[in-house]
Amino acid sequence: MLSTVAILSAGLAPEAAAADVRSQQWYLSAMKAEEMWKVSTGKGVKVAVVDSGVNSNTPSLQGQVLTNEVPKALSYKATEDYSGHGTTMAELIAGTGKGDGLQGLAPDAKIVPYRIAMTDLDAEEAKKAPDIPKVIRAIADSDVKIINMSFGTKIDWPGLDEAVKYAHEKGKLLFAGTGNDAEKDGKIAYPARYPYVVGVAASDESGKVGEFSEYGNYVDLAAPGLKVPAWCDKTFRRYCTDRRGTSMATAIASASAALVWSAHPDWTANQVLGSLIDTAGRDWARDNPSVYLGYGLIRPRKVLEKKNYQPGPPNTDPLAKENVRGVVDADGEPVSASKEPKPDPSKDTTANGDRTSETASGAEKSDNTTLWVTVGAAAALLVIGGGAFAAYRSRRGA
């Protein structure tokens, strides 16, 4: 099947010299990365980056990319990034920050790169790219723990749902961006749409969920995803500082899981994910997640700061309800992507009566070379550091 998927990041961005890029990574201080690194740096955890390829020669990724662990049949140009997108995701996860490059949230994790056909890849090269379901199955059969999928498609890719389920059964954690088309048509992106994939929404440094960030009952967690620096293009000469998208949020969520798994190597994927859900920043009932923010803003430090954190049963799926039910409409009935309803913002009410921002307490732009358009949904207000982070509306009403 010759088709391409869209990357889930974009930018309107001013450029930055590499030396300035660390100062632009606002979320590192917001998430208290320095404190977390005293406990865990992601060591011992491998993350598969399924993307546009990963340039292993950037200063920040030297020694971080395990090219020899990609099966030969699926390794075509795995370390030749045709857009800069996959390299950015890898650096956000496991970059060392050397050479004034991006500092990864889990700097001692390792990256296993896979290059698939995205919208920036020309047709001839796309034909040579490996089939995505085969890639996911190969990762499932490896010792990689986390699969980062910062891409989306409106197509229910043949065999991808079964590959995802297989990876879940093999004990992998799968993260994907929920999509950047919130106002355009509201249709859900695959693979975030599938059961057993953790759908990640994007937030900015002031605490606002991106207006472009897709919403629905498939949103499981939120993570920083606005004004995040990224490589501007495939030349790797400069970073752009105003990138945004659920791509970035997905990478940061994957890195968060790597930190927790590194600190607790005996935990299962269910326990790692369960701990991130339990400690996510929210001001609503855990069993009544938001259509915009899911179970809340990811906060791995809340797991790491408790030496005797109890993660729950190893075989209990923390998203069992969602994984059995799948995407549903307002009546709780399953829906297809082509018939996906949009939540009605006019029905939203918040503590301050503002329908464009939802508030709660108790928790910590677009380089659109893709199919995704960065325009918005009703926003939710979050404060990453210690205060508020909210989405008043639950997904029961979605």
Catalytic positions, please? 51, 85, 247
The span from the CA of 271 to the CA of 167, in Å, is 16
Q: Given the DSSP bridges, would you call strands 151-152 and 6-7 parallel, antiparallel or unpaired?
A: antiparallel
Strands across the sheet with 173-177, in order? Answer: 110-115, 46-51, 146-149, 173-177, 198-203, 219-224
By C-alpha distance, which of 345, 397, 343, 385 is closest to 361?
A: 385
What is the residue type of 169?
A: E
CB distance 82 to 125 below 8 Å: yes
Handedness of CA 268, 62, 246, 354 (dihedral sign): positive
Which tokens is 232 given?
């501007």
In sequence order, the 6+-apart residues with CB closer than 8 A to the CB of 146 are 45, 46, 47, 48, 172, 173, 174, 175, 254, 257, 258, 261
